[in-house]
């Protein structure tokens, strides 16, 4: 049976600043200047992303839409903190009978983080316009607790000490 170490080694994944492991698999050669970002970006980028049970993807945001695709392991649970205070939960996994989906989108500028519902989750993420770390923001746990005190439990799990 394939485990997280198998995928990290076979796919040559590296630690990601938000948590977990990743490897960029595609970055379009062409670029453009999207009006909402006002800086040059590739048309599209794609990565493999792996989270283990003892690791999480900390709450962060990017300025682009991000599409997620399930590959292996347990369902990945993505938590989205909306400006209106509502918490959304998306389960990206292989079991639709359990409310899981094989692919999902996190809209641009949403605050989100994720964790595996089991030993590990392997997904791909596609970002358009293409991902750039200049568009990436990690959120301190303290700030999120002030803004969304009603979601203390998940913020304690996915928030980052900064």
pLDDT given for residue 1 in this prediction: 72
Per residue in 126-158, pLDDT tens?
A: 999 999 999 999 999 999 999 999 999 999 999
- Please name which of 88, 158, 74, 80 lies closest in space to residue 116, comparing C-alpha atoms: 74
Per residue in 10-61, pLDDT tens?
A: 999 999 999 999 999 999 999 999 998 889 999 999 999 999 998 999 999 9
- Please name which of 79, 72, 114 lies closest in space to residue 93, comparing C-alpha atoms: 72
Question: Is-contact 40 32, C-beta < 8 A?
Answer: yes
Domains and CATH numbers, the chain: 4-136 (2.60.120.10)
Per residue in 88-112, pLDDT tens?
A: 999 999 999 999 999 999 999 999 9
pLDDT given for residue 97 in this prediction: 98
């Amino acid at each position: 049976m394939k485990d997280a170490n198998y995928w990290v080694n076979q796919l040559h994944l590296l630690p990601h600043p938000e948590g977990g492991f990743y490897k960029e698999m595609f970055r379009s050669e062409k670029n453009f200047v999207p009006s909402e970002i006002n800086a040059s970006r590739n048309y599209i980028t794609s990565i493999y992303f792996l989270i283990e049970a003892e690791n999480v993807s900390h709450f962060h945001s990017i300025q682009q839409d991000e599409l997620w695709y399930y590959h292996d392991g347990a369902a990945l649970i993505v938590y989205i903190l909306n400006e209106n205070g509502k918490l959304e939960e998306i389960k990206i996994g292989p079991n639709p009978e359990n409310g899981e989906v094989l692919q999902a989108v996190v809209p641009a500028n949403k605050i989100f983080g994720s964790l595996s519902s089991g030993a590990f989750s392997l997904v791909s993420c596609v970002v358009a316009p293409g991902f750039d770390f200049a568009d990436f923001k990690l959120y301190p746990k303290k700030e999120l607790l002030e803004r969304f005190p009603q979601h203390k439990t998940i913020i304690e799990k996915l928030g980052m000490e900064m």
